[in-house]
Structure 1
């Protein structure tokens, strides 16, 4: 009877070790954690930020440069 309990305990340890080494397990736990944090605190800062693609960023830099030049020359801002 004691041997059976030891065998089951060893099998349980081996299964837990294999589970903890699995990438799928860690992804699943991470998703559950994100959902819990979302329900507790709302939208996280990472999701609320917007990013610019390379084309958008280049257009922004061009527009920003033009605005600085216009302000240096004393032209009124009339771009939309």
Structure 2
């Protein structure tokens, strides 16, 4: 099992536990800063920069679709 797979397993267990990050890390003897590093590293990325080149008024902020931002006085 790779290091990424091991940390993904930790993250899955944390999600299922309902515990805070700190409480989970204390129970599993994990350094909180390591947990946060891997949580960020393995989290899905946003598509904010992908859409900016074609249309600066659209952004896929949460990876769930395109969000349209209306600006007053701008067509």
> What TM-score does the superposition give when structure 2 sets the normalisation length?
0.26
In terms of fraction of residues, the more helix-rich structure is 1
* TM-score normalised by structure 1 residue count: 0.26
Could you say which structure has the larger radius of gyration? 1
Could you say which structure has the higher strand fraction?
Answer: 2
